[in-house]
């Protein structure tokens, strides 16, 4: 049975991923930041024997990644990065503190955590690293310049690291969602939501379960020949 570290398991997409993988031969180390209630609700939905640890850590802080890693007491065979924050405002209005927080959460913390987990994966000649990025990481979005930038950094990290560790049996990939029905998008007004939907060829909002399905696919050993890919799940929206 393989142990999966899910970073940001309490969010809508994180929850869907854990619920999907819980139907298979995986055990979990589950991370959350603030939403303790959401984590408790998730734990009620999956078998107790499937959960090895629950870890709280703030990955927007410089010491967050080390704090998380030092709490892990089990081997990690796969890590899935789901944590994310967005900043919806003009770039000219974004303060430096926000920039630092976004960079640390989306870029530096994943760098540090992955760096610490890789040696054991390389030694086993087996491992999975999966990021949940965003279509804005490749196409960019006005009023979300910082978010687009850090998601673009994640995409580049995935492509580069996959080339570096692929020969060692470790696969690195990403799933890039479009407009998904999550808490992060629920602040959008009804009229604006409808405008977005009208631009999506599938003519609807995506579901967290659809992102989870793609992660299931990448986690399967039959997907080991897929390396450095950014799988876009957007209903055709670009």
Annotated catalytic residues are 147
| Element spanning 177, H or E | strand 170-177
For 60, the 3-state DSSP assignment is coil
CA dihedral for 54, 71, 29, 58, sign (positive or negative): positive
For 123, the 3-state DSSP assignment is helix
Distance (Å) of CA 40 to CA 11, 36, 145: 12, 6, 33
Name the β-bridge partners of 30.
6, 54
Q: Where does residue 7 rank: exposed (0-12), middle (13-18), buried (19+ CB within 10 A)?
A: buried
Listed in sequence order, the residues at least 6 apart from 9 whose beta carbon sits closer than 8 Å to its beta carbon are 15, 17, 18, 28, 30, 31, 32, 39, 42, 82
């Amino acid at each position: 049975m393989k142990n999966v570290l899910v970073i940001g398991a309490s969010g809508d997409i994180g929850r869907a991923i854990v619920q999907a993988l819980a139907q298979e031969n995986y055990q979990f180390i589950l991370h959350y930041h603030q939403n303790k209630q959401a984590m408790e609700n998730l734990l009620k939905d999956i078998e107790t024997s499937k959960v090895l640890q629950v870890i709280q850590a703030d990955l927007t802080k410089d010491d967050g990644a080390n704090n998380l890693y030092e709490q892990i007491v089990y081997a990690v065979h796969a890590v899935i990065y789901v944590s994310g924050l967005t900043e919806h405002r003009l770039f000219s209005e974004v303060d430096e503190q926000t920039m630092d927080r976004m960079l640390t959460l989306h870029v530096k913390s994943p760098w540090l955590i992955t760096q610490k987990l890789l040696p054991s994966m390389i030694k086993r000649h087996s491992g999975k690293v999966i990021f949940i990025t965003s279509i804005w990481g490749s196409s960019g979005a006005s009023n979300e310049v910082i978010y687009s930038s850090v998601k673009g950094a994640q995409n580049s990290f995935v492509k580069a690291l996959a080339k570096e560790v692929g020969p060692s049996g470790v696969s690195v990939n990403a799933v890039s969602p479009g407009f998904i029905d999550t808490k992060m998008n629920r602040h959008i007004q009804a009229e604006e939501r409808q405008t977005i939907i009208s631009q999506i060829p599938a003519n609807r909002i995506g579901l967290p379960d659809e992102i989870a399905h793609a992660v299931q696919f990448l986690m399967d050993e039959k997907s080991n020949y897929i390396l450095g890919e950014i799988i876009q799940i957007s209903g055709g929206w670009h």
